[in-house]
Amino acid sequence: MATFEELYRQHVQAVFRFALSVAGKREVAEDLTSEAFLALHRNLAAIDQSQLPGWLLTVVRNRARDWWRRQMVERRYAEQFAAAPEPEAPPVERWLLDSTDLKQVHRVCLALRYVQGMTRAEISARTGLTEMQVKGHLQYGLTLLRRAHGVQET
Amino acid sequence: MSTDRHTWDREERQALAGLEDQIDAMRRRHVGAPPFELLRAARADALPDDLQTAVSEHLAASPMSRTLAEGLGEDAPVLSAEEQERLLARIMKDARKEAAPASVWGWLRPVLVGTGIVAVASLVWIVSKGTDVGEPLAPPDSQVVVALPPAVPPFLLPFEKPDVRLSMSALTWRGSAPSATDDGNQLLADLKPGLDAYRGNDYATANRQLTALVSRYPGTIEILFYQGVSRVFLNDYAGAIAAFDAADAVGDRTFASDVAWYRAVAEQRSGNDAQARAQLNAICNARGSDAGRACTALEQLAKASANPQ
């Protein structure tokens, strides 16, 4: 049976990534990760270790729901979001969604910048990437976009 | 959070020269979409129910939002070694704090016992005087109960989402539905919304869409199978078993092993181990491609029931 510290080292990255994906903020993700491992510490003797990291991810998911519930109260998120957009997408959008040259990270950075209208700093805050990384991914994406749409390199 | 083309830097203006109208059109199409962090959380089913439903419905209809919801993939950031150590130190500190009250219990005991005696005496006095103690306190509006996962059963059959595939009979379907499409395959057109929702992890919509098709296309294996799997994801095990029963009755050999496996998953999660074993036995004995994992699962179930933890 592994010790708590061994389990921590084995699973912390997976738990943190999941926490970041459900909370969208690095500091909240760290809190959720910390709470999940604290719960593990508390229940270590009773837990079947073969069920990790699933058990930890479930703790994160439950705590994230709690966190979002509080956000809903504080920010009063609208519960009605826009329905599906009109079927006719411009070629740039079709390229953004379908291009096999783009990695998922490029697609997301481009969409956050040119669809959701975020600044590089906002993209950095919401993805956990550094601003330099965001800038690099956007530059690479724009280069591919230019090529795909026949715009001359300058 | 509003960036339009007037805020682009020189490099962006250069790169997007001639494409500005398309970028504007793309942005307009997605005004009112949920923010990125909500899309990501909804994909992991980590939102409170109402919000989860609203965002899931949007996700099922918007490929752009589904792309965002997938996140950064392999490029998602991780904790640095230093951050890992800092977080571990914080967890251990919190764990010690939790343990601390036990050591001060001895000091607190006389105080608590004394307080208890006073409280009991007050209660006796109130009851004897017939005093109205008022309405019980209402629970606070924002009270939230955070559940830990239940005690984990010793062995749980793996439940992985099966990809969408179509049987030959669906691909070559030539029904006589009045609204048949040009190529004659109205079944595929009708299946699309339900299967798209399933692909997008929106199991409530998938279940609803597929259920609506059952009477129109009786005996179509895809409808019954993905309806059953969606219900397992929704924790509706009885509903899932009913769908798998109906799928089994269709007798389509392409899906037979999958139907049995997911039926076993639903049976086990609803507490019916004997039925789960019966399904696994059938797969194990059939010696098909799934036989190995079914036989192994049977062994693990047997071990688990011999050594309950």
pLDDT (average), residues B274-300: 77
Instruction: Give the CA dihedral B84, B90, B96, B100, nearest 10 degrees.
Output: -170
Alpha carbons A117 and B3: distance in angstroms, whole number: 5
Q: Band of the pLDDT at B306, cuts 50, 70, 90?
A: low
Residue B158 CA to residue B165 CA, distance in Å, equals: 20
| Cα distance between residue B125 and residue B110, in whole Å | 23
Helix (H, G, I), strand (E, B) or coil at B246: helix
Average pLDDT, integer, range B148-155: 54
User: Cβ neighbours of residue B192 under 8 Å, at least 6 residues apart?
Assistant: none
Helix axes A104-114, A91-98, angle to 10 degrees: 150
Least CB–CB distance from B40: residue in A24, A38, A47 = A24
For chain A, helix (H) and strand (E) counts, in that order, are 7, 0
Indicate the residue of A18, A41, A146 with minimum beta-carbon distance to B91: A41
Measured CA to CA in angstroms, residue B229 lies from A53, A55, B2, B210, B277 at distances of: 23, 22, 41, 11, 19
| Nearest chain A CA: its distance from B147 CA (Å) | 6
For residues B69 and B43, the answer to whether their CB atoms sit within 8 Å is yes
pLDDT of B229 higher than 60: yes
Whether A22 and B147 lie within 8 Å, measured CB to CB: no
Contact in structure between B298 and B280 (CB atoms under 8 Å): yes
Search chain A and give the residue with CA nearest B75.
Answer: A105
Give the residue from B284, B286, B282 showing the smallest Cα distance to B299: B284
- Does A146 lie at the interface with B, CB-CB under 8 angstroms? yes
Q: How many CA atoms lie within 13 A of B19 on its CB side?
A: 23
Confidence check: pLDDT of B305 > 70:
no
- Please tell me the predicted confidence (pLDDT) of residue B135: 32
- Interface residue A59 vs chain B (CB under 8 A): yes
Q: Do B37 and A92 lie within an 8 Å CB cutoff?
A: no
Nearest Cα residue to B235 out of B269, B275, B196: B269
ipTM, two decimals, is 0.87
Q: Chain B: nearest CA to A18, how far in angstroms?
A: 8
- Does pLDDT of B157 surpass 80? yes
Q: Which amino acid is at A69?
A: R
CB atoms within 10 A of CB B209: 24
| Cα(A151)–Cα(A42) distance, integer angstroms | 59
**Sorting pLDDT into bands at 50, 70 and 90, what band is B144?**
very low
Distance CA A63, CA B149 (A): 11
Q: What is the pLDDT of residue B60?
A: 84
Q: Which residues contact A110 (CB under 8 A, 6 or more apart)?
A: A96, A102, A137, A138, A141, A142, A145
Of B47, B87, B98, the CB nearest to A65: B47
pLDDT of residue B3: 47
Give me B194's structure tokens. Answer: 């339900």
Cβ of A144: how many Cβ atoms within 10 Å?
15
The more confident residue out of B112 and A154 is B112
pLDDT band for position B304 (50/70/90)?
low
**Which of these, B133, B213, B20, lies nearest to B227 by C-alpha position?**
B213
Predicted confidence (pLDDT) at residue B83 exceeds the cutoff of 90: yes
Please identify which residue in the block is written with the tokens 């129109």. Answer: B216
Q: How far apart are CA A112 and CA A108, in angstroms?
A: 6
B4's CB contacts (< 8 A; 6+ apart) are: A117, B24, B27
Mean of pLDDT over chain B: 77
Judge residue B269's burial from the number of C-beta atoms within 10 Å of its C-beta, 0-12 exposed, 13-18 middle, 19 or more buried: middle
Mean pLDDT comparison of A99-108, B113-122, B166-175, highest-scoring range: A99-108
pLDDT at A139: 93
- Give the torsion through C-alpha atoms of A61, A67, A73, A78, to 10 deg: -50
Q: What is the pLDDT of residues B19-59, one digit of tens each?
A: 888 999 999 888 888 989 889 998 888 888 888 888 888 88
Q: What is the pLDDT of residue B234?
A: 82
What's the sign of the alpha-carbon dihedral B260, B261, B262, B265? positive
Residue B271: CA atoms inside 13 Å, Cβ hemisphere, count?
Answer: 0
Cross-chain Cβ contact A129/B77 below 8 Å: yes
Give me the pLDDT at residue B14, please.
Answer: 86
